[in-house]
Amino acid sequence: MSHNLQLPNAQGQIEKYMLVGTSPVKPQTGVRFNRIAYSAAHVVNNPLAAHDPWIDCALDWDATIAYRQHLWSLGMGVAEAMDTAQRGMGLDWPTSLELIGRSLDAARDVPGAFMASGCGTDHLNLDGISSVDEVMEGYEFQMAAIEKLGGKLIVMASRALARVAKSPADYERVYDRILSQAKQPVILHWLGDMFDPALKGYWGSQNTQEAMDTALGIIQAHASKVDGIKISLLNKDKEIEMRRRLPAHVRMYTGDDFNYAELIAGDGFGENIVQGQSDALLGIFDAIAPAASAALGELAQGHLEKFHDILGPTVPLSRHIFKAPTRFYKTGVVFMAWLNGHQKHFTMVGGQQSTRSVVHLAELFKLADAANLLEYPDLAQHRMKIMLSMHGIE
């Protein structure tokens, strides 16, 4: 196939583009990583379901589980039913719980597979919530359901709590109660308002330093119940500061889709290795899974330069996918899965495929090509031409 395309640029002009990727990234097999790496995995919509796409949630279960098996084959864990899976943006709680159950079942058939699952309060009607007690009961409801399946918890940030909490003390009360009941150590989740505007002022303050102090106090009070914390503030300095202040065994799971390469590599701070490096729980790892696996394999073997050589070129792509409005990043993640043949169509739960323009997607295609992330270049080019044709570009 000819590798020539007519792509729109940022000014809306059509320009000839030729693929530049030399060879798709191929991860090594059998390499044990020296970082824990979770990929927050997307779900595959079922476009053949007879339903209202903006209202109802219908998944292609086979394709959805197959993608998780793909991630496990690359040595990564799955962070299930998170915001990357459109939790709170089309993926409802009943479907989320079914997804968690199906993924746990699939993981049992894959040696070495690991996963953790999002536990939140998104089944609650925000307009009907008036008290912190209702939020606690909401968390407990989802905790019980996930733990009954044998799942490890990622305690997600709660829109309901952000809405009704009046002070840091309210957050302390909620998390004290939730953590004291957890059956195994959990991963906490601090999602910045650039990902979800409804989470503004989480931990009881719009001042990041004050919010961090509250979160750290909760972690220190329940250190035995906390495996780690994922923070997604897109601010590497804040992540490093918090990482250095965590208790000795509590991990920092970077959720920084702008600066993940250097945060995972670490700075070697202090005697405690956990405080000098970040593990990962990233939405971008869904879109760049082969490169992430290959880079982590090199890092585990002490090849820091090769780690950066592989992962560095993915950062411009990630920054583009996660550009403002950041909450629409899921569209780019699913677009990558379609380009690379992991699903047959480019449709999303809630019709979210419409949240990015063809100009945005064209730039994404070029950045993915430059990072050697088009796994099957001919297929990717063919599908890009279909997308262009749908937008009147022949």
Given this model, what pLDDT does residue 217 score?
A: 98
Which pTM does this prediction carry?
Answer: 0.96
Q: What is the rounded average pLDDT of the residues 346-375?
A: 97
Tens digit of each residue's pLDDT (9 = 90 or more) over 44-66: 999 999 888 888 899 999 999 99
Residue 296: which pLDDT band, with cuts at 50, 70 and 90? very high
Tell me how long the chain is: 394
The type of residue at 313 is: P
Give, in degrees to the nearest 5, the angle at Cα 378 between 376 and 380.
65
CA pair distance 87, 140, nearest whole angstrom: 18
Among residues 169, 164, 167, 95, which one has the least CA distance to residue 133?
164
Does the pLDDT at position 272 exceed 80? Answer: no
Given this model, what pLDDT does residue 3 score?
A: 61
Q: What is the rounded average pLDDT of the residues 11-35?
A: 90
Given this model, what pLDDT does residue 228 score?
A: 98
Tens digit of each residue's pLDDT (9 = 90 or more) over 39-49: 999 999 999 99
Q: Strand 14-18 to strand 4-8: parallel, antiparallel, or no bridges (unpaired)?
A: antiparallel
CA pair distance 89, 258, nearest whole angstrom: 22
- For the chain, the maximum distance between any two Cα atoms, rounded to a whole number of angstroms, is 62
Quick one: what percent of the chain has pLDDT higher than 70?
A: 99
Given this model, what pLDDT does residue 159 score?
A: 97
Q: What is the rounded average pLDDT of the residues 157-179?
A: 97
Given this model, what pLDDT does residue 54 score?
A: 86
Domains with residue ranges and CATH for the chain: 34-314 (3.20.20.70)
Tens digit of each residue's pLDDT (9 = 90 or more) over 85-121: 999 899 999 999 999 999 999 999 999 999 999 999 9
| Least confident residue range of 49-63, 141-155, 375-389 | 49-63
3-state secondary structure of 231: strand
CB atoms within 10 A of CB 324: 8
Does the pLDDT at position 382 exceed 80? Answer: yes
Does the pLDDT at position 356 exceed 80? Answer: yes
What letters, b where the CB count within 10 A reaches 16 and e where it falls short, cover 242-255?
bbebbeeebbbbbb
Dihedral sign from CA coordinates of 371, 372, 376, 379: positive
CA pair distance 23, 376, nearest whole angstrom: 9
